Amino acid sequence: MHFDATIDGRTLRVEVRGRDGRYTVSLDGRVLEVDLQDTGRDFVSLLIGGRSYEVGLERRPSGFVVAFPDDTLTVDLADAARGAGTTLRRAASGPARITAPMPGKIVRVLVGAGDEVGAGQGLVVMEAMKMENELRAPRAGRVRELPVREGQTVETGALLALVE
């Protein structure tokens, strides 16, 4: 999953890969190994490069506020960074497959099988690494398949929707 994250006025290109609390995170090409564990509502324990951090996460419409014991960072994510551009698998012709960019949980299903959708319209919202990602239709069409339901966990590459 790719993001453009703005922190204190500086924009970073972020790439996240992994699952089950173990992630490889690239920040402008700098690679970090990250272990993430939930420790309570809105709190996580992070192990980054051998250092442990207990942080609070406050969800905002534009991203998150991350509270460290001695510092607070505001992280803004652009709409395009929330997964729309990185999760579409298009065939040269035929249906467009929208797949899970990483393991996560389906939070909301925004359409139903058989619905007509416009290009860029939200199909499902999934949560991965404490972030909600709205996955969108790559083009106008009809939702042929929607094999997921709210509350379901999915693995990387799982089919979320098929638009034709």
- CA dist., res. 61 & res. 77, Å (int): 9
Q: β-pairing, 10-19 with 22-27?
A: antiparallel
pLDDT of 99 over the 50 cut: yes
In 3D space, the residue among 32, 33, 158, 162 whose CA is nearest the CA of residue 104 turns out to be: 158
| Sequence-separated contacts (24+) of 88-93 with Cβ below 8 Å | 88/138, 90/138
**How far is Cα of residue 164 from the mean position of the Cα atoms in its chain?**
24
User: What is the set of domains in the chain, with CATH numbers?
Assistant: 2-80 (3.30.700.30), 83-163 (2.40.50.100)
pLDDT digits (tens, 9 = 90+) for 6-30: 887 788 888 888 877 888 888 878 8
0.85 cut: is pTM over it? no
pLDDT of 128 over the 50 cut: yes
Predicted pLDDT at 93: 52
Give φ, ψ of 29 to 5 degrees. Answer: 90, -15
